[in-house]
Amino acid sequence: MIETLELVVKLSFISDILGTAPSPELLKRDFFKTIGKKALKDAKKLEEETEGLSTEAYTEEDYKVSKSSEEEKNNEITQITYFRKDNKGIYLPNFMVKGFLKAAAQTLKEQINLPNPRAKIDRYVFIFPNKIYLYRNGKVLKKHKDEYIRPIRAMTPKGERTSLVSSERIEASEDNPITTDEIKIVLIKNKEINLEKLKKMLEYGFYSGISQFRSAGFGRFKWELISQTEEIEEVKEKEEKIESENKNENEKNENNNEVKKKKIKVKKTDKKK
């Protein structure tokens, strides 16, 4: 049986959270762009082989490929990222928490003495449940508040380009936090990561959190310990400490008793004289 340790926590978001899932429309567009490029390549090959099939007709009719101009590309609709949700409500997927732990471990690797932290988190740390629902005042969130639009810059072969990105936003603050389900962090026992190091990684969430645009302070959180399995080494240390204290106390009592006996003997000798 694999030996594991468990840390059960709850997160309380103290700053606004942004959605991270790409829109279905953008996924479809990117998918058909890829298919379109392949279709065009296949059509050109087929045209050469058949000496007469129209590449344009082939791609448009059979693959529905549209050739957008450079101007159209620059005027694409604003990209939107969404919150994942199902019939119950809005949730965070467990891999986002694991991704946060990787980032935290990478940042704190010198403080927690953990070389190659991302690979070790991947191998030893597992997050449950798969869907971590978000709550306000004890009720599962069903809707976001609004969209947060921000510019992003990117370097391209044609120079720096700026575009707009929009994300669904949920309001959160220290006075009105968003809380999560209980999150179980399971750690496979090893010599390099322990529960104390995981706790330190969680503390990093106060400075850099989960979700989009973390560099601007979005998705910051505090964490609350619900329960944990004590590490065997810690239990042994506590038991040894208690045993040592009891032993010292017993020795001290024995010494005191011996001193008292000696004093009584001295008093009796003095009386005889």
Per-residue pLDDT of the chain (273 residues; tens, 9 = 90+): 899 999 999 999 999 999 999 876 666 666 666 665 666 566 566 555 555 444 444 444 444 444 444 444 444 445 789 999 999 999 999 999 999 999 999 999 999 999 999 999 999 999 999 999 999 999 999 999 999 998 888 788 888 888 888 999 999 999 999 999 999 999 999 999 999 999 999 999 999 999 989 999 999 999 999 999 976 555 555 666 677 777 777 777 777 766 566 666 655 565 555
Looking at the structure, tell me whether residues 198 and 175 fall in a common domain: yes
Looking at the structure, tell me whether residues 63 and 91 fall in a common domain: no
Is 181 domain-assigned?
A: yes
Looking at the structure, tell me whether residues 265 and 170 fall in a common domain: no
CA dihedral for 247, 248, 253, 259, sign (positive or negative): positive
Looking at the structure, tell me whether residues 141 and 111 fall in a common domain: yes
Is 259 domain-assigned?
A: yes
Q: Do 8 and 184 touch, CB atoms closer than 8 A?
A: yes
What pLDDT sits at residue 99?
96
Is 115 domain-assigned?
A: yes
Structurally, how many domains does the chain consist of?
A: 3
Looking at the structure, tell me whether residues 101 and 198 fall in a common domain: yes
What pLDDT sits at residue 155?
81
Is 78 domain-assigned?
A: no
Looking at the structure, tell me whether residues 236 and 224 fall in a common domain: no
Looking at the structure, tell me whether residues 168 and 254 fall in a common domain: no
Looking at the structure, tell me whether residues 107 and 223 fall in a common domain: yes
Residues 6+ apart with CB under 8 A from 106: 117, 118
Give the Cα separation of 212 and 21 in Å (integer): 10
Is 77 domain-assigned?
A: no
Looking at the structure, tell me whether residues 251 and 204 fall in a common domain: no
Is 134 domain-assigned?
A: yes
The residue among 86, 64, 46 whose CA lies nearest residue 55 is 46
Q: Read off the tokens for 168.
A: 């669904």
Looking at the structure, tell me whether residues 63 and 89 fall in a common domain: no
CATH number of the domain within which 182 lies:
3.30.70
What pLDDT sits at residue 169?
96
- Domain boundaries, position 264: 230-273
Is 209 domain-assigned?
A: yes
Residue by residue, DSSP assigns the chain as: ---EEEEEEEEEE-S-EE--EEPHHHHHHHHHHHHHHHHHHHHHHHHHHHTS--HHHHHHHHS------HHHHHTPPPEEEE-EE-SS-EEEEHHHHHHHHHHHHHHTTTTTT-SSHHHHHHHHEEEE-SEEEEEETTEE-----EEEEEEEEEEETTEEEEEEEEEEEE---SSS-EEE--EEEEEE--SS--HHHHHHHHHGGGTS-SSS-GGGTTT-EEEEEEEEPPPHHHHHHHHHHHHHHHHHHHHHHHHHHHHHHHHHHHHHHHHH-
